[in-house]
């Protein structure tokens, strides 16, 4: 999106982050936003946390920050550019938890959706070591943990994300 902060890009008169919050707020009592810039703008939507690792290591940096600050043992993560999040996303993840689960990842029937996840806090030491050695590929972390997949094959649109100004314009026209 041309270097713009995706979560603050307007879609139908609201920033993308507001669309995501509108979908998640009825599903969970606690929301945190991971942001490394424009924290004061994001703070109007929910409490803001920032990456603790230098050089902003992508989604794993946000996951690390979330696990470090969340008040619960299980912490869910979604991207800020997916306005069609399912109304039962959190419930599906919670129903799939098993005692041995470390990480749950959404699967749309064809592909895993690696940034739609539920992590147990016990992953934090492993994630810290993973990031400290310079690893950044989220899928490699999943290989190191007890990772299970949650079936969303009946709702693949839940994971639709907006990556270009053209996609944003087309989506806005189809979903006023």
Binding-site sequence positions: 6, 34, 51, 81
Task: List the one residue out of 50, 59, 33 whose CA is nearest residue 131.
Answer: 59
Handedness of CA 175, 170, 35, 140 (dihedral sign): positive
Task: Return d(Cα 167, Cα 30) in angstroms, integer.
Answer: 30
Q: Which residue ranges make up the annotated binding site for GTP? A: 6, 34, 51, 81
List all residues 6 or more positions away from 94 whose beta carbon is below 8 Å from its beta carbon: 74, 118
Residues composing the chain: 176
Q: Which residue ranges make up the annotated binding site for Mg(2+)? A: 81
Q: How far is CA 108 from CA 74, 156, 159, in A?
A: 22, 5, 8
């Amino acid at each position: 999106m041309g270097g713009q902060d995706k979560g603050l890009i307007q879609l139908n008169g609201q920033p993308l982050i507001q669309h995501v919050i509108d979908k998640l707020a009825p599903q969970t009592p606690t929301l945190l936003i991971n942001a490394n810039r424009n924290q004061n703008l994001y703070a109007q939507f929910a409490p803001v946390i920032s990456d603790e690792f230098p050089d902003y290591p992508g989604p794993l940096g946000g996951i690390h920050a979330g696990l470090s600050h969340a008040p619960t043992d299980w912490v869910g993560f979604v991207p800020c550019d997916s306005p069609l999040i399912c109304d039962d996303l959190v419930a599906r993840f919670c129903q799939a938890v098993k005692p041995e689960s470390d990480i749950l990842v959404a699967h749309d029937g064809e592909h895993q959706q690696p940034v739609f996840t539920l992590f147990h806090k016990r992953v934090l030491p492993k994630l810290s070591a993973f990031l400290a050695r310079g690893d950044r590929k989220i899928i490699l972390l999943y290989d190191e943990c007890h990772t299970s997949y949650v079936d969303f094959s009946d709702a693949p649109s839940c994971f639709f994300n907006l990556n270009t100004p053209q996609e944003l314009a087309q989506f806005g026209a189809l979903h006023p």
